[in-house]
Amino acid sequence: MNPLFIQFVNLLGALLLLLAFAMLSQRRILSLIRLYTMQGVALVLATGVVGYVTGQPHLYLSAGLTLLLKVVLIPLLLHRVIERLDVRWDVEPLINIPTTMLIGIALVIFAFHLGAPIARLSASVARGTLGIALASVLLSFLMMITRAKAIPQVIGFLAKENGLFFEATAATYGMPMVVELGIGLDVLIGALILGVFMFQIREQFDSLDIRHLERLKEE
């Protein structure tokens, strides 16, 4: 295997992780969507490179599907949602940004420590990506937990799936195409359902703060 291509996949994984960190520090929803789109571009490149190195043409189709969903359709859907809801800024997170970043650093260290024994047993093109992918998933969970508004939580959910997809591609050379198509469809339908969910929250409470949902429990 050409070590240059392996290093390039690792570089794209590092970019994915940096973008996940950048999401944690963002309050502007438009910036979150742009960062999510950049993650999609990194996934497309990584999938294409792994397909070229391993000689598996189905990964090119997977890269095309990723381009269509994560770079075009879902960002476009998110833009339409925030335009309809007239939302541009996110409120202060539940935990302040410096504390959130420190927790994120601790999660990255934990992810790499957890993934190191498994990575040593792997013979894939980019076995070092396991820690990166796990860290990206944990950072996305952290973003979902520390945001009170629905839209950032939706973006965090979608970013979590990016980390899982990256690891499936880099470590196992991709899933069967039927599975990938099914996951892609699930993600798109999930984004549509979450969009409807946000509209319903806004209509009922005139806000996207999910803490208003606690009123339903009290009633």
Residue pair 121/140 in contact by the 8 Å Cβ criterion: no
Closest CA to 129 of 61, 60, 47: 47
Round to whole Å and give the CA distance between 41 and 117.
29
Please return the burial class of 144, using the count of CB atoms within 10 Å of its CB with bins 0-12, 13-18 and 19+: middle
DSSP 3-state of 22: helix
Round to whole Å and give the CA distance between 55 and 105.
36
Round to whole Å and give the CA distance between 216 and 166.
38
What pLDDT, on the 0 to 100 scale, is given for residue 153? 79
DSSP 3-state of 201: helix
What pLDDT, on the 0 to 100 scale, is given for residue 172? 64
What pLDDT, on the 0 to 100 scale, is given for residue 4? 76
Lowest mean pLDDT among 8-12, 114-118, 165-169, 178-182: 178-182
What pLDDT, on the 0 to 100 scale, is given for residue 216? 45
Round to whole Å and give the CA distance between 138 and 104.
8
pLDDT: which is higher, 77 or 195: 77
Q: What's the chain's average pLDDT?
A: 76
Residues 6+ apart with CB under 8 A from 161: 183, 187
What pLDDT, on the 0 to 100 scale, is given for residue 200? 54
Round to whole Å and give the CA distance between 59 and 43.
11
Give per-residue pLDDT as tens, 65-75.
888 888 988 88
What pLDDT, on the 0 to 100 scale, is given for residue 91? 59
pTM for the model: 0.78
Please check the confidence at residue 19 and state whether its pLDDT lies above 90. Answer: yes
Across residues 181-189, what is the average pLDDT? 57
